[in-house]
Amino acid sequence: MILQQLPILKHFTDSLRKRGGHAHRRGLLLARAGWIVLALLLLANFVASIPAYYKILRTVCISSVQVQCAFWQPTPGNVEALQRLHLSVGSYAAYFVTLDAAVSLLFWVVGILIFWRKSSEWTGLFVSLVLILFGSTGISDTLLGTFNTAHTLSLIPAFLLLINVLQWPALGAFLVTFPTGRFVPRWSWLIILLWIVQFGFFWLTNFGLFPPELLLLLVVPLIWGSTLGIQVYRYVRVYDAVQRQQVKWFVFACVAGLSLIAINAVLGEVVPGLSAANSWYQLFGGTITALFNAAIPLGVGIAILRYHLWDIDLIINRTLVYGTLTVILTGVYVGLVIGLQALLRGIISQDNSVAIVISTLAIYVLFQPLRQRLQKLIDRRFYRSKYDAARTVCASTCWPWCRRRCSPRMSRSGCVNQSGPGSHGTTRHPREKDHFCFNKSPP
């Protein structure tokens, strides 16, 4: 402490801090300049690839091996489905090129916004670079060097290969370090090596050296599972309240997109006829993939720029309640329709319509009680601290003169005076332990 108060040592430490600050600012300026140069090169690739990709989609892929066809390129089965819908291959190509470009532009917009608002931080520069890197190459690399021909300069294919190689390690680094920008624990940077290995497996699979089943069953679960484990550890042990809110936004967006893909796959396998090559349902696979990709920049943008505008806990709560409610009521409805059709067959002639009417009425009766029970169950299971706090408030602040009929959600309703004349001084506590309520002043 005495040495630090000496004028010479104080001047020396101040000069070191100033030099460190100047070096940090110079590094940020160089990084911003490199970001702009790389963004311009990626933008040139994006613009030049759109007409070439449209030309590819106007060509029908007749190969029996799906890997040899471009992503979303129509097959003979797709052409047959388009003819039944009175649509041409040109309109199909225009739709998917527009959809691909729109989702890619969403990556660009969010990446530029983060660069504009957060370019003074290394994390903001890196996240914005990852977003424009994926935005410039399209969905599943559909716009990565599509314009490349035999007459293209040799330097351009090398640049495109470099972009393709950097994509997956950059994505792995983003997922491991989001939202702090630091590797915690320190050895977590080794996960990026696994993402490089994954890219190698993808590349070798295109040449038939590895079966795709090995990639899906072994490599992808190992790499994505390791990344998820790191994030779970950081969420429990490292993150503060703000960082947890940011992670919730990003995870919510990814889960929403993955749910669409899962529902699309399940419907294609369960519903008869949808998995056929000439089914109209096969035309919507690309749209579902585009929606999943659109959820990623939206989740990242809200997590970094606007995470405080909406209550993500309330959104997740509502999603859990109504998602579970939809699944349960759908199963009940299908089971009732099938069961009532079997029971009514032979008794009355119009068994199908009667079964549908009865099942619909049953769903109408079950909706509200089942929703309330699911709300209470999810509040107890996933929001236990808020649930207990609200019960404590209810038990300590509600006036004893009112007969309580309180909503399970404390923020939506309060005590309701249902007492009749002359019951002002009575004390009633019906089911007080199971409900929430606000403090209401007596008349």
Tell me the per-residue pLDDT of 118-144, one tens digit each, with 9 for 90 and over.
888 888 889 899 999 999 998 888 888
At 199, list the tokens. 């890219």
Check pLDDT > 70 for residue 13: no
Residue 404 structure tokens: 């309580």
Residue 427 identity: T
Tokens standing for residue 148 = 């490349």
Band (96; pLDDT cuts 50, 70, 90): very high
Closest CA to 297 of 69, 425, 114, 433: 114
Give me the pLDDT at residue 19, please: 52
**Can you tell me the mean pLDDT for 323-330?**
83
DSSP conformational letter for 349: S
What percent of the chain is predicted at pLDDT more than 70? 73
- Residue 252, amino acid: F
How many Å apart are CA 79 and CA 98, to the nearest integer?
19
Closest by CA position to 215, among listed 198, 193, 196, 229: 198
Whole-angstrom distance, CA of residue 236 vs CA of residue 218: 27
Please state the domain extents for the chain: 323-382, 401-443
Contact 439, 396 (CB under 8 A): no
Q: Which of 384, 394, 387 is nearest to 415 (CA)?
A: 394
In terms of C-beta density within 10 A (0-12 exposed, 13-18 middle, 19 or more buried), how is residue 280 classed?
A: middle
- The Cα–Cα gap between 297 and 131 comes to 7
What pLDDT was estimated at residue 418? 39
Per-residue pLDDT at 165: 83
* Tokens found for residue 105: 């532009």
Helix residue ranges per DSSP H, 136-275: 155-177, 190-205, 212-214, 220-237, 241-270
Give the pLDDT mean for 284-305.
Answer: 85
User: What is the token pair recorded at 182?
Assistant: 């630091």
CA atoms within 13 A on the CB side of 212: 5
The helix (run of H) or strand (run of E) holding residue 197 is helix 190-205
CB 148, CB 137: distance < 8 Å: no
pLDDT of residue 271 exceeding 70, the answer is: yes
Q: Evaluate if pTM is beyond 0.75.
A: no
Average pLDDT of the chain to the nearest whole number? 76
81 CB-near residues (< 8 Å, 6+ apart): 278, 279, 280, 282, 283
- Per-residue pLDDT, averaged over 48-66, amounts to 85
Instruction: Report residue 70 as tokens.
Output: 């471009």
Residue with tokens 């680094």: 173
β-partners of residue 348 are 345
Q: SS3 for 348?
A: strand
Return d(Cα 111, Cα 128) in angstroms, integer: 4
Per-residue pLDDT band at 101 (split at 50, 70, 90): very high
Sign of the torsion formed by the C-alpha atoms of 381, 386, 392 and 394: negative
Query: Most confidently modeled of 127-141, 329-343, 415-429?
Result: 127-141
- Collapsing DSSP to helix, strand or coil, 345 comes out as strand
pLDDT band per the 50, 70, 90 thresholds, residue 181: confident
Cis preceding-peptide flag for 185 (omega within 30 of 0): yes
Q: Using an 8 Å Cβ cutoff, are 289 and 330 in contact? A: no
Q: Length of the chain, please?
A: 443
Q: Around 123, how many Cα atoms within 13 Å sit in the side-chain half-sphere? A: 13
The sign of the dihedral angle between the CA atoms of 96, 98, 102, 104 is positive
pLDDT number for residue 180: 84
CB 329 within 8 A of CB 363: yes
